[in-house]
A and B are shown apart, each in its own frame.
Chain A
Amino acid sequence: MTIVDVDAHYLEDYTVLADYLDEPVRSRIRNQPQGWLVPNSTGDRYLSGRINRDRDVPGTNPRRTQPDEVPRIMEFLGVDISVQISNLMLTLPNMNSRELAVGLCQGYAEYMIDKVCDPAKGVFSTVIVPTQDPAKAADLVRRYGRAPGMSSVTFITQWAQPPLGDIHYDPIYEASAEVGLPIVYHASGAGLDHFLIDGFQKFIETYTLGFLFHNLATLVSVIVQGLPERFPSLRFIFQESGIAYLPGIMYRLDEAYLKRRSEAPLLTKLPSEYIRSFYFGTQPLERPENDEHLAAIFDMVDAEDRLVFATDYPHFDYDRPSAITTLPFVSEEGKRKILGDNALSVYRFDGWTPPERETSPLVAGVAR
């Protein structure tokens, strides 16, 4: 069995990314304090140190990833392929500066290709697109999207305006279709403490709602604006919100579409049918006490063919492969597809060949 982690985070040093850029953006990025460069939000994800990664992988720095640490982290997680996604850029859409957003994405792509990606060892990354400047984002997709190690094109969905199904972003979708990479929509913690409704008191509130809201907004926009019809070769993967929200939006949007089809004339089938053609990262997978409830959701979203396993390591809510291996209602074949085969068919993992062993040894260790 091949285990693919479609979402793990690389904790990069942005001053190193700047080395790949031309002046004056190079100095503007390198010399900025991080808090000014990409505004983050308050709220300690790690509960003031209660949750910590210090003991996970001995000899690594849990606050700043080094390229050679990635295979050891993958071994700790029990995964064969890992898509490393920038940690810093998870707040990208909060930036007003187009030139700095484009510069960071360019520096990130260059750095990952130069230092981190190692297809033979299963280490891959993704082209992150600065939604602030669709034309330049499309240039980045064309320039780096064919590089070995680049598995996909990633939008950070938090606060992207207009919503991501809009024709405003067509240059990015055109370029992605051209290089043959799937589209990842990655919800993130950016600005969660400044949720649409101000005044939530605790991170648990904005965390629970924020990821979900931005995935819902993206799903609705992508479907109603007819993106799958306008770019039929593109495949779409939504990450970071679990899966329990999907039946709700599927059937609510179907209901609205049946009444207001004239507002979405590009569609050729029910919204829920589009959703069942999309892929969804599993993390953080919900575990209702009654397994039958989760089994029903799996059935509604065609889970065995559409879910792609993700850890989100090292974030506080990361999942291990045991989140899937312990599901009593999923067949062995279904687990194999969710843990790896679905991702192998939708992402581009050129340069990777399966090892000869049958199962990932660490997965056996944590399967309980």
Chain B
Amino acid sequence: MSAPATRLVRVAPTADIAPGERRIVEVDGRSIGVFNLGDGFSAIANVCVHQGGPVCWGRVEPRVHAEVMPGGEVRESLSPAPDTIACPWHGWEYDVRTGTCLANPRKALRTFPVVVRDGDVYLEIAERAS
């Protein structure tokens, strides 16, 4: 089987999406969030798997971790960089790179490959079967 056909959809000049910023675009009627995470771009569907909320409008923040220290103290910490997006409707959290739901890894947002080429950011979109 051959790989499904894809096309590149231009999002913006790379310089227009600064580190920490995002651009939300419509492609084929779908809303997609494109995020500059500083060390690269990611793109996720702007539809929360919970009740369809606009997850890409949500805050991107470091993730809360916790570990049990020798002696029993529970020490919480934040991941070093913002890596988690929370839906503004009900707070469901996702990995902003992989789309995986943090509270239930069996659920995930759809993700899209991002291509940076010649100073522009593109989404790689599968051609829809006609």
Residues of A bordering B, CB below 8 Å: 47, 49-53, 55, 289, 316-320, 322-323, 366, 368
Q: Give the size range of B's interface with the partner.
A: 10 to 19
Q: Which of the residues A51, A55, A289, A323 comes within 8 Å of B106, measured between beta carbons?
A: A289
**In the complex, residue of chain A having the shortest beta-carbon distance to the beta carbon of B85:** A50
Q: How far is the CA of A324 from the CA of B59 in the complex (A)?
A: 28
Q: Please tell me which stretch of B3-11, B36-44, B49-57, B114-122 contacts chain A, meaning at least 4 of its Cβ atoms lie within 8 angstroms of it.
A: B49-57
B91 at the interface (CB under 8 A from A): yes
| Chain A positions within 8 Å of B104 at CB level | 289
- The answer to whether B52 touches A366 (Cβ under 8 A) is yes
B32 close to A (CB within 8 Å) = no
Cross-chain contact B90 with A316 (CB below 8 angstroms): yes
B73 to chain A, nearest CB (A): 14
The total number of A-B Cβ pairs within 8 Å is 37
Top 3 A-B pairs ranked by shortest CB distance? A51-B91, A50-B86, A366-B52
A319 near B51 with CB under 8 A, answer yes
Q: Note all chain A residues with C-beta closer than 8 A to B88.
A: 50-53, 55
Residues of A near B59 (CB, < 8 A) are 49-50
- A322 with B86: CB separation less than 8 A: no
Task: Say whether B83 faces chain A, with CB atoms less than 8 Å apart.
Answer: no
Chain A residue with the shortest CB-CB distance to B59: A50
Chain B residues near A53: list those with CB within 8 A.
88
CA distance A55 to B57 in the complex (A): 9
Using A316-B90, A317-B90, A366-B51 as known contacts, list a sample of 10 further A-B pairs with CB atoms less than 8 Å apart, ordered by residue number in A.
A47-B91, A50-B91, A51-B88, A51-B91, A53-B88, A55-B54, A55-B57, A289-B106, A322-B52, A368-B52
**Does B61 interact with chain A (Cβ within 8 Å)?**
yes
Distance (Å) between the CB of B95 and the closest chain A CB?
Answer: 16
Q: Which residues of A contact B89 (CB under 8 A)?
A: 51, 318
Shortest CB–CB separation between residue B26 and chain A, in angstroms?
Answer: 15
CA distance A368 to B89 in the complex (A): 16
CA–CA, A348 to B58, complex, Å?
Answer: 39
Q: Is A50 within 8 A of B57, CB to CB?
A: no
Chain B interface mostly: loop
Task: For the complex, give the distance between the alpha carbons of A361 and B52 in Å.
Answer: 15
A50 vs B90: C-alpha distance when bound (angstroms): 9
Cβ contact within 8 Å between B61 and A320: no
Report the separation of the CA atoms of residues A366 and B54 in the bound assembly, to the nearest whole angstrom. Answer: 11
Instruction: Say how far A170's CB is from chain B's closest CB, in angstroms.
Output: 40
A289, closest chain B residue (CB):
B106
Contact B52 A50 (CB under 8 A): no
- Nearest Cβ in chain A — how far from B11, in angstroms? 21
21 pairs of residues in contact across A and B, judged by CB atoms under 8 Å: A47-B91, A49-B59, A50-B58, A50-B59, A50-B61, A50-B88, A51-B86, A51-B87, A51-B91, A52-B88, A53-B88, A55-B54, A289-B104, A289-B106, A316-B90, A317-B90, A320-B51, A320-B52, A322-B51, A368-B47, A368-B52
The answer, among A51, A289, A366, for a CB contact under 8 Å with B90, is A51
Please name all residues of chain B whose beta carbon is closer than 8 Å to the beta carbon of A366 when the two chains form the complex. Answer: 51-52
| A319 / chain B contacts, CB cutoff of 8 Å | 51
* A-contact 0/1 string along B96-112, CB 8 Å cutoff: 00000000101000000
Q: In the docked arrangement, what's the CA distance between A51 and B93, Å? A: 11
Interface residues of B in 56-78 (CB under 8 A from A): 57-59, 61
Report how far A213 CA is from B99 CA in the complex, Å: 35
Report how far A317 CA is from B104 CA in the complex, Å. 17
Q: Please, which residues of chain A bring their CB within 8 A of the CB of B51?
A: 319-320, 322-323, 366
State the Cβ distance, A41 to closest chain B Cβ, in Å. Answer: 19
Nearest chain B CB to A47 CB, angstrom units = 6
How far is the CB of B86 from the nearest CB of chain A, in Å? 5
Return chain B residues, CB-CB under 8 Å to A320. Answer: 51-52
For B91, what are the chain A residues with a Cβ–Cβ distance below 8 Å?
47, 50-51, 316
CA distance A52 to B57 in the complex (A): 10
The residues of A that contact B90 with a CB separation of less than 8 Å are 51, 316-318
CB-defined contacts of B58 to chain A, threshold 8 Å:
50
Give the residues in chain B near A55, CB-CB below 8 Å.
54, 57, 88
Q: How far is the CB of A53 from chain B (nearest CB, A)?
A: 8
- Cα distance A368–B110 when bound, in Å? 14
**Distance between Cα atoms of A319 and B53 in the complex (Å):** 11
Contacts of A368 in B (CB 8 A): 47, 52
